[in-house]
Amino acid sequence: MAYIQLEPLNEGFLSRISDLLLCRWTCHHCCQKCYESSCCQSSEDEVEILGPFPAQTPPWLLASRSSDKDGDSVHTASDVPLTPRTNSPDRRCSSSDTSKSTYSLTRRISSLESRRPSSPLIDIKPIEFGVLSAKKEPIQPSVLRRTYTPDDYFRKFEPRLYSLDSNSDDVDFLTDAEILSKYQLGMLHFSTQYDLLHNRLTVRVIEARDLPPPISHDGARQDMAHSNPYVKICLLPDQKNSKQTGVKRKTQKPVFEERYTFEIPFLEAQRRTLLLTVLDFDKFSRHCVIGKVAVPLCEVDLVKGGHWWKALIPSSQNEVELGELLLSLNYLPSAGRLNVDVIRAKQLLQTDVSQGSDPFVKIQLVHGLKLVKTKKTSFLRGTIDPFYNESFSFKVPQEELENASLVFTVFGHNMKSSNDFIGRIVIGQYSSGPSESNHWRRMLSAHRTAVEQWHSLRSRAECDRVSPASLEVT
């Protein structure tokens, strides 16, 4: 094993140690070469000098400075005579001047970099993003074609969709006397009482007064002097499970005295709003909405109960609901039979002033635009919520099923004259709406399985407008 004989500890030794600490080596024998200052020669492996430089420049850099001044020739560190350093004042002054050798050092490093065979130079240029073209154009952000303002954003909203009616803002700040003087729609007397023992809410409709004269929308009304009022009661937001009083004939001061109960928990009742709508019955025209009263139940003492006179306000609901019909459809491909179950109906439009309605359902099979078969249920007397539970079967081959339509029409039975039309829907090829089309598709995809669904009844004019099958039946 070879040993390296170290020099005595002197200033030359300290200078070389500083060179060793300031040098980052890459050669295998760097420890010895850096000590001998031979790794910085141009003929050996490359070395990279990292600053900061010492205040007292090593002697080999001084020799390099003098050689650059003479002829820009590069000498090795072994040719530079090592001059012993002294602590004289002149030497201290000259040490500050040697710090200017940084420029010469830079030129020496540039010369070393140009002679490196193993480290290729990488020219890093700025990266420009954009389409390459002969003419370079500055890239600018695209400008929006239209500038949106807050007014444009809020203009998309329709306030009428988020309020019960268009006059709610005015009504909130008016008393009952001011509402009656402004709208002149009359007043309604009613009461509420909650039974904690049986968990049910009782609503009593007592009477109304000062109702306005009737309004005819289509000119078919005969008596324009008197109204035939009745009241519908529901707990918002559920409008399906509503109640309805009887019709009081030819009076502007009807006395109802009817009670209705709602099976509902107490906490749920406090979150509901009691809505009472006064309507005007007309056998020969569509029913008209006179006015309404809305009472949030959280604002009243339900357990203690109470009764109120409230002024009627205009309602945004001009169209009166005709009722709902629950149907079940089933098709048997092997037998080629289309089975229809008429289960029940609820909240049908009242067609008789004295005893409500005597409703029945007529089912008609239409193939293409041709009436094939007609069947009907029995009629139930004096009710607007009939239960039928009657089944009917039609022979429809599978290849003709896609061209079939079923027309369901609800009538009010009348012994003295023609039956009173209540509502209609069409299910099948020429369905009268999205709900009816969805029911038909579900039945086609579920062979041999009965599919039930509720349907809202539509007017005759609406069905005739959207369904050709409705035009082929009476």
**pLDDT-derived band of residue 125, with 50, 70 and 90 as boundaries?**
low
Which range is least confidently modeled, 155-169, 252-266, 330-344? 155-169
User: Which has more confidence, 55 or 292?
Assistant: 292
Please, where in the chain does CATH 2.60.40.150 lie?
A: 171-311, 324-472
pLDDT of residue 83: 46
pLDDT of residue 37: 52
User: Which has more confidence, 233 or 238?
Assistant: 233
pLDDT of residue 43: 47
Most confident stretch, 108-117, 134-143, 194-203: 194-203
The phi, psi pair for 258, rounded to 5°, reads -125, 145
pLDDT of residue 76: 44
CATH topology of domain 324-472: Immunoglobulin-like (2.60.40)
Neighbours of 172 (CB within 10 A): 7
144-156 confidence digits (pLDDT tens): 455 555 555 445 5
Neighbours of 332 (CB within 10 A): 14
pLDDT (average), residues 455-460: 90
**pLDDT-derived band of residue 354, with 50, 70 and 90 as boundaries?**
low
The phi, psi pair for 431, rounded to 5°, reads -70, 155
State the helix-helix crossing angle for 102-114 and 59-71, rounded to 10 degrees. Answer: 80
pLDDT of residue 26: 47
Spatial CA neighbour of 326 closest among 458, 455, 435? 455
1-36 confidence digits (pLDDT tens): 455 555 555 556 666 666 666 554 545 455 555 555
**pLDDT-derived band of residue 409, with 50, 70 and 90 as boundaries?**
very high
CATH topology of domain 171-311: Immunoglobulin-like (2.60.40)
Percentage above 70 pLDDT, the chain: 58
27-55 confidence digits (pLDDT tens): 545 555 555 555 555 444 444 444 444 44
How far is 385 from 422, CA to CA, in rounded Å? Answer: 13
pLDDT of residue 237: 86
- Buried b or exposed e, range 202-222, using 16+ CB within 10 angstroms: bbbbbebeebeebebeeeebe
Q: Answer yes or no: is pLDDT of 199 > 90.
A: yes
DSSP one-letter code for 356: B
133-184 confidence digits (pLDDT tens): 445 555 555 544 555 555 554 455 555 554 444 454 566 667 878 888 888 8
pLDDT (average), residues 312-329: 82
